[in-house]
């Protein structure tokens, strides 16, 4: 396992700025463009929002663990909660795409996953039968020399 930077925050919206600021620092140090960093900030905020809104019962306190890990030209961001998980089935990319559909055909609850998939290079959702959900987001470093090579 590569070295990583990790945060554990309360599952509350007011802590999302810490997640985004940390992502900015990690991603800019890795050499990502401003545009890619902004895309990643939206995707990670959406993953955290899902945990805040859906993982824990009303009034129940909980936490979200976020890990930023650089690996072979990618930045991997893991967002994990220990709350209620859901049954997630990876849809076929052609059938899941919202292209060529009207906004009325989009399900309200699933737009966040589509957004994450549109902004990131890879999105995995791992559930543990009622004991938490982990969303793993990956973005490839493109168009610039990998900082890891520069440091050697």
Per-residue pLDDT tens digits for 39-54 = 999 999 999 999 998 8
pLDDT at 96 over 70: no
Q: Which of 134, 109, 112, 135 lies closest to 123, judged by CA?
A: 135
Q: Which pLDDT band, with edges at 50, 70 and 90, does 100 fall under?
A: low
pLDDT at 95 over 80: no
What is the structure's pLDDT at 128? Answer: 79
98-121 mean pLDDT? 73
Other CB atoms within a 10 A radius of the CB of residue 52 amount to: 21
Q: Which residue matches tokens 């890879």? A: 122
Helices (H), the chain: 16-30, 34-54, 93-96, 111-119, 147-151
Contact call for residues 64 and 124 (beta carbons, < 8 A) = no
Q: Which pLDDT band, with edges at 50, 70 and 90, does 145 fall under?
A: very low
Residue 114: both structure tokens together: 């589509």
pLDDT at 140 over 80: yes
pLDDT at 65 over 80: yes
pLDDT at 1 over 80: no
Give the pTM. 0.79
Fold of 5-140: Heat Shock Protein 90 (3.30.565)
State what percent of residues in the chain have pLDDT above 90.
59
């Amino acid at each position: 396992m590569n070295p990583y930077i990790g945060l554990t925050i309360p599952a509350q919206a007011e802590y999302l700025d810490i997640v985004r600021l940390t992502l900015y620092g990690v991603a800019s140090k890795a050499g990502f463009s401003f545009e890619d960093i902004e895309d990643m900030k939206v995707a990670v905020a959406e993953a955290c929002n899902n945990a805040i809104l859906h993982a824990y019962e009303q009034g129940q306190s909980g936490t979200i663990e976020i890990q930023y890990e650089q690996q072979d030209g990618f930045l991997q961001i893991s967002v994990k909660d220990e709350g209620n998980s859901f049954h997630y089935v990876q849809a076929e990319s052609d059938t899941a795409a919202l292209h060529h559909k009207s906004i009325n055909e989009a399900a309200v609850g699933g737009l966040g996953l589509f957004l994450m998939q549109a902004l990131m290079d890879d999105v995995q959702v791992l559930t543990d039968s009622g004991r938490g959900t982990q969303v793993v987001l990956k973005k490839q470093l493109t168009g610039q020399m990998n900082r890891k090579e520069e440091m050697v």
